[in-house]
Amino acid sequence: MSDQPIDLRSDTVTKPTPDMRAAMAAAEVGDDVYGEDPTVIALEERVAALFGKEAALFTPTGSMANVLAVRSVVGVGEEVLCESSAHIARAELGAHGAFTGLTMRTWTHERGGLDLAAVESLFAPDLGPFFVPTKAISIENTHNFAGGTVLPVDDMRALRAFANSAGAAVHLDGARIWNAHVASGVPFEEYGRQVDVLAVCLSKGLGAPVGSLLVGSAEAVAEARVWRKRMGGGMRQVGILAAAGLYALDHHIERLAEDHANARLLAEACDVDPAGVETNIVAIDVPDAAAVVTAARDAGVLVGAVGPRTVRIVTHLDVSAAQAKDAAAVMAKVLAEVR
Ligand SMILES: Cc1ncc(COP(=O)(O)O)c(C=O)c1O
């Protein structure tokens, strides 16, 4: 093993490749707040078309894309339903409540998936001044904290049918929809068809340094453009970053299969059933997550604690198959000592 630690904390730790940097350096740019950055426009149009939607909006982060996306379908004093360990509920630091003034209620699913019966029983129609009305149901695909699980498209279809009948919108946190697509073979457009609005990230598995997009109707995107500026997210010659995203869409989607294979290899070493590891994230139950993080770091492997007894390993563009193998040997040893 080299002196450099193998960093498996997150797929956000990747550095732009030389070819991605070259694409960034060559990007044509303009002032995007004036709507004059051709590279941003090209990225937004491309991603909107990919998901079969009218428009898209480039944002600095996935959190901002999610906040803008959810607020396009849920207003002040209204609610969104989501799974209890969804990123929007657990890891966006209350942004949806703070900025939109909405509330959330949750269902729990072992694999971060959909429990339609729970959604149906939680759903609150608008009864005037009595209950918080449900305006949207949010799903996450792949699901980060559940271990990169893929939400089956049939579940998304069933949710779409329920939401249509109930008059609610569907939001998708698709930060890692690229991984879901590669694992399931479901076309992006088919995912887009099942939801009203979605957020996608370029800065995770795809390896771009910065950038996410909200994707939806022209009306939702026009409104989100105003809110993005209000929140301080109006960026200027940002085509430099959009170019990294375009490069990633061209070159870094299909290769995610390698990350998925590396994750399964690591899962086996960590005594996690590889059949349950569908993409690039492995969630490992341990007696003391902080102790495992420290022991692994001392042995040259960086992993994350996402709960007191859950360690998370994430494979990505900057971890080769050989490094995954080395890290697997380290993790097997570390876990044997603590279990
Ligand atoms: C599922 C999911 N959604 C949204 C986000 C937020 O992205 P960002 O860190 O760019 O705000 C993350 C970040 O890891 C994520 O895992």
Predicted confidence at residue 201, as pLDDT, reads 98
The answer to whether the CB of 133 is under 6 A from ligand 1 is no
Q: Report CA(62)–ligand 1 centroid distance (Å).
A: 5
**Ligand 1 atom 5: residue of nearest CA:** 62
pLDDT at residue 2 above 80? no
Q: If we measure between CA atoms, which residue out of 306, 286, 290, 305 comes closest to residue 90?
A: 306
The answer to whether the CB of 83 is under 6 A from ligand 1 is no
Residue 89 — pLDDT band, cuts 50, 70, 90? very high
Predicted confidence at residue 3, as pLDDT, reads 82
CA distance 242 to 212: 9
Q: Report CA(243)–ligand 1 centroid distance (Å).
A: 20
Predicted confidence at residue 339, as pLDDT, reads 81
Residues with Cβ within 8 Å of residue 48, at least 6 apart in sequence: 54, 55, 56, 215
Q: What is the pLDDT of residues 268-283, one digit of tens each?
A: 999 999 999 999 999 9
Pocket test for ligand 1, best of 12, 58, 63 (most atoms within 8 A of CB): 63
Q: Report CA(126)–ligand 1 centroid distance (Å).
A: 31
Predicted confidence at residue 242, as pLDDT, reads 98
The answer to whether the CB of 144 is under 6 A from ligand 1 is yes
Mean pLDDT, residues 92-110 taken together: 97
Q: What is the pLDDT of residues 301-335, one digit of tens each?
A: 999 999 999 999 999 999 999 999 999 999 999 99
Predicted confidence at residue 222, as pLDDT, reads 98
Residues with Cβ within 8 Å of residue 61, at least 6 apart in sequence: 203, 210, 212
Q: What percent of the chain has pLDDT over 90?
A: 98
> Following CA atoms 215, 218, 219, 220 in sequence, which dihedral angle do they give, to the nearest 10 degrees?
0
Predicted confidence at residue 110, as pLDDT, reads 94
Residue 1 — pLDDT band, cuts 50, 70, 90? confident
pLDDT at residue 171 above 80? yes
Mean pLDDT, residues 110-126 taken together: 97
CA distance 131 to 27: 50
Beta-sheet pairing, 212-216 with 55-59: antiparallel
Ligand 1 atom nearest the C-alpha of 66 is: 4
Q: What is the CA radius of gyration of the chain?
A: 20
CB 331, CB 270: distance < 8 Å: yes
